[in-house]
Chain A
Amino acid sequence: MKELEYPFNAVWIISNRRKIRKNLLNTNQNLIEKKIAVLGGSTTKDIVQIMELFLLNNGIKASFYESEYGMYYEDAVFENRELEAFHPDIIYIHTSNRNVASFPELTNTKEEVETLLDLQMQKFLMIWDQLLEKYSCPIIQNNFEMPLYRLFGNKDAYDYRGSINFLSRLNERFYEYANNHKDFFICDINFISADYGLKEWNDPFYWHMYKYALNVNAIPYLSFNISNIIKSIFGKNKKGMVLDLDNTLWGGVIGDDGVENIEVGPETSSGQVYSEFQEYIKLQKQLGILLNIDSKNDEKNAIKGLKHPDSVLTLNDFIEIRANWESKDRNFIEIAKSLSLLPESLIFVDDNPAERDIVNQQLPGVCAPEIGESHQYIHNIDRNGFFEVTYLSEDDLKRNVMYQENVKRIELQAKFSNYGEYLKSLEMTAVIKPFELIYNARIAQLTNKSNQFNLTTKRYSQGEIEEILYDKNYITLYGKLKDKFGDNGVVSVCIGKIDGKICHIDLWLMSCRVLKREMEYAMMDVFIHKCQQRGILEIRGYYYPTEKNGMVKSFYKMMNFDLVSEKEDETVWSYVVNDSYKEKNKYIQVEE
């Protein structure tokens, strides 16, 4: 929904929240359901109501547990049957500097302030440790925003008795905890409040009237920020950008003005703006965001522009380059297809409102942010939080290289008329083994973002993956696939739950990056071996249809399982384990 993308009209969202909600529930079909507990140190009503909208807009239907006013500590630390019964998937702790019990006083010594800091921390440590242990789900915690006033003026920032100094040091300690706990995330209200305007954010009217710790007008910005963290945790981040060229990556129209006259580089102020934007885009690439071009241009002109000596981005930075006179939405679809991604996982970046409109009309679900004037591009893309980083895996950092290798594979494939010959020529090797700690981040990430080749679409947090890793009642496998062009990293995951002599396949997924490489055969071979070793007599497979996983509807049939039951398209399959199993994989050399 366009109105919920940045830059949005906050008051409009607040006043129309009920209508928006109805609308989103009616139009969004394929929603995943999540339970979110909000533990507040101040009023949270509107924060929750508006967060719900942004989450719906990201395909997440949330139900909420809201603590009684100000009871964040009690709810976390003492026995809480209601919260336990709720089984939260995420816990958000909404505290603010209004919840700091005591600030340093003028007469305090350094040591006394240190003790005060310890006391504050102890309270929060107790909350976090208890919650992580009891609920083993991700926790989102606000840091502290800067206070209403500075008793010392500027010295407040660096004197140990200053409240700014005190809050900054508390924040540092929060970050330390966050860096040591993988399922713990900071909601950076210190930044959000500054970005919004601290004096407006801190308007005490809302505190004294309604016990809101922030200006009600600012709530959509806060809720948006929290929902970005949540959708990222559940694998709903965008994966790539589809970029226009003329007046987007450089100033001017290269076909008309010629390569020597486009604006990019240090010579002019306008050129500098485009250079800075290109640098920003290049940094996205390092995060694993896939870059692609969709431009109305002759291809040779487009390439000339990217070879401009002052261009920060070069040809090698892009996976797919579509420079032609096709309509942009068509090119967009083609790009998504060749990356094996769903269109809505890419964003469309174009300065031209008419082109954005076509993409919005033709490709519902695709974000085409209103990027404004050239000097606002960075801000408007950045604040949308499309690529909010929560779990950053090795794979993210290497993703662009992997996709580029894929382009080479496709070129090679074209040279073979026999597909088997092509697979052989790839010289594939795989490592297929039970879960290992170092891959947990990647495994959790895959469970959250694989939609197409995914039999049950069960999502797991990193904490849950770790529990399963140590649980003897599970058979787990991860699969890494390598070939002569490069390493694809971990691309397949399965989890089988043992119940006596039966093993139930709770999860079976594969990244679409390695479709049609027969990796699923190699995984099944090893899975059956493991079942044989554990004395399993029967394997049960489950297929739960979603809007996106139609491609694996017949997966178990293909694997020679027998259909046991079928109910509203949900199917259950069975395979009797015996010694006569014939290996299915022919082309991949496997290390178990």
Chain B
Amino acid sequence: MNRRDVFEMLNTIFRNNFDDEGIILNEETSSADIESWNSLEQINLIVAIQDEFKIKFNIDEVNAMNDVGKIVDFILEKIGS
């Protein structure tokens, strides 16, 4: 799985979660870009990501996720590709 695949899967997760087909993620997308993406919404994304990629994040990782690029970094690191 490469960075692009992960992006695509993340895009689906985000679209589902916010029920917004218009979402297009890039490396810099952050909570400032998606109106309803607040800290409580973040947990729903994390739950979906963990389930999709069969991985688990720890507290430090979640706290460091300030944009989508960072999320992708962590995912790639965990799935080891």
Interface residues of A (CB under 8 A from B): 11, 14-19, 22, 43, 45-46, 205-206, 208-210, 212, 216-217
Contacts and interface: CB of A to CB of B under 8 A. Distances in A.
7 contacts: A15-B16, A18-B17, A22-B19, A45-B40, A46-B44, A209-B43, A216-B44
B18 interface: yes
Contacts of A22: 19
A43 B62 CA distance: 18
Interface in B15-71: 16-19, 39-40, 43-44, 47-48, 51, 58-59, 62
Contact of B40 (A19, A43, A205, A217): A43
Nearest to B42: A210
Contacts of B43: 46, 206, 209-210, 212, 216
| Complex A-B, nearest 3 residue pairs according to Cβ-Cβ distance, in ascending order | A18-B19, A15-B48, A11-B51
A19 B16 CA distance: 8
Contacts of A46: 40, 43-44
A14 B50 CA distance: 13
Interface of B: 13, 16-19, 39-40, 43-44, 47-48, 51, 58-59, 62
- Which of B16, B39, B44, B48 has the most chain A CB atoms inside 10 A of its CB? B44
A145 to B, nearest CB: 20
B76 to A, nearest CB: 21
A36 B46 CA distance: 28
Contacts of A43: 40
B17 A15 contact: yes
Nearest to A19: B19
Given A11-B48, A14-B48, A45-B40, A209 B16 contact: no
A210 B48 contact: no
B29 to A, nearest CB: 18
A412 B32 CA distance: 74
Contact of A209 (B13, B18, B48, B62): B62
Nearest to A211: B40
Contacts of A15: 13, 16-17, 44, 47-48, 51
Contacts, number: 42
A205 B59 contact: yes
Nearest to A203: B56
Contacts of B51: 11, 15, 217
A208 B43 CA distance: 12
A14 B47 contact: yes
Nearest to B14: A15
Given A14-B48, A15-B13, 4 more contacts: A11-B47, A15-B44, A205-B59, A216-B47
B63 to A, nearest CB: 8
B55 to A, nearest CB: 13
A15 B40 CA distance: 13
B28 to A, nearest CB: 23
A216 B51 CA distance: 12
Nearest to A15: B48
A281 to B, nearest CB: 35
Contacts of A206: 43
Contacts of B58: 205
A19 B17 CA distance: 8
B16 to A, nearest CB: 5
Given A210-B43, A216-B43, A216-B47, A16 B16 contact: yes
B59 A210 contact: no
B17 to A, nearest CB: 5
Contact of A210 (B13, B17, B18, B40): B40
Contacts of A14: 44, 47-48
A275 to B, nearest CB: 38
A46 B59 CA distance: 20
A374 B48 CA distance: 32
A579 B47 CA distance: 71
A3 to B, nearest CB: 13
Contacts of B16: 15-16, 19
A434 B13 CA distance: 59
- Which of A46, A209, A210, A217 has the most chain B CB atoms inside 10 A of its CB? A209
A212 B42 CA distance: 13
Contacts of A205: 58-59
B37 to A, nearest CB: 13
